Amino acid sequence: MTETAGGADVLTAQAMIMLADRPVVALSPAISEALFECERTNRTFQLVTSATSRLTLPLRASKAQWLVHDDGYYEGLTGRPMHWNGTAFVPLPDARDYAPTYTTPPTAPIGSQLVLTFQARHAPTAVLGLHTEKLMRLLTGEPPKGWGLTEPLQHPWDPEELTAHTATTSSSRIIAIGASSRPAISTSDFSPLVPPASGTAEMTTLTIGYTDDEDPPIPQLPSFIDLLSADHPLTALLAQLIPGRHDLTTEPRWMGSSAPIGLASAGAYTGPPGFSRKRLGPPDAPLTWFHLGNGYSPEYWQRHQDLLTHLRRTP
């Protein structure tokens, strides 16, 4: 591991390796540039940290592969043991279990993270970011504080400025953070609609943090989505709960399985049988909310799959 270029500690034909020995590693401009370079050159970006490091949510959501050095190497998000083969970190062939550190208890109490992933379609003249602003207000009491492409964020929250930025790029991932004491981070991907349609497609994931002694507002979600869709129509929204740190950073260890809460889909559906449904949104842009689970039962992901199968078959 000797060849280097740019901000990389190691560069091979297959991978770019960057070492980061910090308590919290964020999606910095240097890491963002490295990710772009890896995508352009068809390399894997591999970030190596110690077992005491944590990743911010935007970095975790990126295409970076997280490697943890702790008496060997393992993948920080999966616990899969890894080793260096001369050109990249790859799975250890004879490994039969998770890396020991991955299965040790977390360093802080496990809270919960409410995750809302939604899709929307925008007219060419639409102002972008308003869905995120409304949802963040509903869930935290405050609008976003700022937006940017890397961390720390570069701009105070301004949907008009955000819209102007996306108009100059073919596709763009935007990070936004909340302004209240309630941790909130969103990542939004904006891209042009496929011709002959015109406008912008949006895919956003908003994550809100709760401590271990707090109850996320699961019963209120349908009413929040109804209020959102009244002003800003949605194509779809999935709500789930993930065990994790209240501050929304990720430790390189097992925290528990995510579990679904519900799915909203554009349209007025009468089926399938066995699913609780609720009509949301205005009459000219209705949504149907399907209740899936309580957010604490991972086995209900099968209900989610069954529902998706039904919706794909529905005209």
Summarised one tens digit per residue, pLDDT across range 54-113 is 999 999 999 999 999 998 999 999 999 999 999 999 999 998 899 999 999 888 889 999
Strands 54-55, 24-25: pairing is parallel
Question: Mean pLDDT across the stretch 20-46?
Answer: 95
The alpha carbon of residue 204 and the mean position of all alpha carbons in its chain are separated, in whole angstroms, by: 8
pLDDT value at position 82? 97
Burial 181-206 (b: 16+ CB within 10 A, else e): ebbbbbbbebeeeeeeeeebbbbbbb
Query: The whole model's pTM is what?
Result: 0.94
Q: Are 260 and 218 in contact (CB under 8 A)?
A: no
Residue 2 reports pLDDT greater than 80:
no
Residue 171 reports pLDDT greater than 90:
no
In the chain, the percentage of residues whose pLDDT exceeds 90 is 89
DSSP SS3 for 227:
helix
Residue 117 reports pLDDT greater than 60:
yes
Q: Which amino acid is at 78?
A: T
Question: Mean pLDDT across the stretch 122-130?
Answer: 96
Rg for the chain, CA atoms, rounded:
21
Helix (H) or strand (E) holding 178: strand 172-178
Q: Which amino acid is at 278?
A: K
Residue 4 reports pLDDT greater than 60:
no
Token representation of residue 243:
């065990």
Angle at the Cα of 281 from the Cα atoms of 163 and 199, rounded to 5 degrees: 30
Query: Mean pLDDT, the chain, as a whole number?
Result: 94
Band of the pLDDT at 3, cuts 50, 70, 90? very low
Question: Mean pLDDT across the stretch 242-258?
Answer: 96
Band of the pLDDT at 6, cuts 50, 70, 90? low
Determine the Cα–Cα distance for residues 93 and 178; give it in Å rounded to an integer: 43
Token representation of residue 251:
């430790």
Q: In terms of C-beta distances under 8 Å and separation of at least 24 residues, what long-range contacts does 224-227 make, across chains too?
A: 224/135, 224/138, 224/139, 225/264, 225/280, 225/287, 225/289, 226/280, 226/281, 226/287, 227/134, 227/138
pLDDT value at position 95? 87
pLDDT value at position 45? 98
